[in-house]
Amino acid sequence: MRVLLRALILLFAAVNVGTRSFADLGWFWQNPLPQGNSLRSVATPDASTVIAVGDSGTILRSIDGGASWALQGSVTNNSLLALCFVDADTGWTVGQRETILHTTDRGATWARQSSGTNNPLSGISCTDASTCWAVGGGGTILHTTTGGE
């Protein structure tokens, strides 16, 4: 009986090795609240503002460093796959069905921009409020020096 008890204790200890919770590591569960869509990209335009984008045009915004989140009005139902901010106010997100959205107010509101392609866009990188590159399906590479206008 003692051998069986020791074996069970050893087995329990072996199974639980390395299974620390996220909170033990400094991470805290926040998704799927306040919604349940998959999120694909996150950006921190400043120390208190955090923007996350994802499926079905989901745009979430926190203005308190991620302590609370608000679902922002989106101008698309297309999945958003990548996000880039060049300063605290100005950013872009790209996604399925040639979607490009632009914000100039820390992600509070978003406006659609024309991409000139029918391909999905999966990545964006900007060096300033005028110069950006977006990449996507079919080997698409888009470039703007006018902030997408």
Q: How many domains does the chain have?
A: 1
∠ Cα 54 60 65 (to 5°): 125
Residue 48 lies in a domain: yes
Q: Say how far apart CA 132 and CA 1 lie, in whole Å.
A: 70
Residue 135 lies in a domain: yes
Domain of residue 130: give its range.
38-144
* pLDDT attached to residue 99: 95
**Torsion angles phi and psi, residue 65, rounded to 5:** 70, 20
Q: Which amino acid is at 7?
A: A
Residue 21 lies in a domain: no
pLDDT at residue 9 greater than cutoff 70: no
Q: What's the pLDDT tens digit per position in 70-87?
A: 999 889 999 999 999 999
Residue 31 lies in a domain: no
* pLDDT attached to residue 32: 54
Residue 13 lies in a domain: no
Q: What's the pLDDT tens digit per position in 21-46?
A: 555 677 766 655 667 889 999 999 99
Residues of the chain with pLDDT > 90, as a percent, come to 70
The whole-model pTM stands at: 0.78
122-to-17, 55, 84, 132, 143 alpha-carbon distances in Å = 38, 13, 12, 14, 14
Q: Say how far apart CA 83 and CA 62 lie, in whole Å.
A: 15
33-to-21, 63, 68, 122, 138 alpha-carbon distances in Å = 19, 16, 9, 24, 34
Instruction: Supply the mean pLDDT for the chain.
Output: 86
Residue 121 lies in a domain: yes
Residue 138 lies in a domain: yes
| Beta carbons of 110 and 74 less than 8 angstroms apart | yes
pLDDT-based confidence at residue 8 (cuts at 50, 70, 90): very low
Q: What's the pLDDT tens digit per position in 100-144?
A: 999 999 999 999 999 999 999 999 999 999 999 999 999 999 999
Q: What CATH code is carried by the domain that includes residue 112?
A: 2.120.10.30
Residue 93 lies in a domain: yes
